Amino acid sequence: MDDLYRDEILEHYRHPHNFGTLPEPDAVYEGSNPLCGDRITLMLGINDDGTVGEVAFTGRGCAISQASTSMLTDEIKGKPISELALLGKDDVLENLGIEISPARLKCALLSLDTLRRALASRVAWQASTDSDDSPAPATSAR
Confirm if 7 and 67 have CB atoms less than 8 A apart.
Answer: no
Lowest mean pLDDT among 3-7, 24-28, 104-108, 110-114: 3-7
Residue 6: per-residue pLDDT: 84
Q: Are 100 and 142 a contacting pair, CB within 8 Å?
A: no
Cβ neighbors of 69 (< 8 A, separation 6 or more) are 16, 40, 42, 57, 59, 110, 111, 114
Q: Kindly report each contact of residues 14-19 with a partner whose C-beta sits within 8 Å and lies 24 or more positions away, as own/partner.
A: 16/57, 16/66, 16/67, 16/69, 16/70, 17/70, 17/71, 17/73, 17/74, 18/55, 18/56, 18/57, 18/70, 18/73, 18/74, 18/77, 19/56, 19/57, 19/58, 19/70
Q: What is the pTM of this model?
A: 0.84
Domains and CATH numbers, the chain: 2-118 (3.90.1010.10)
Q: What is the pLDDT of residues 85-131, one digit of tens each?
A: 899 999 999 999 888 988 889 999 999 999 999 999 887 766 665 65
- Do the beta carbons of residue 78 and residue 40 sit within 8 Å? no
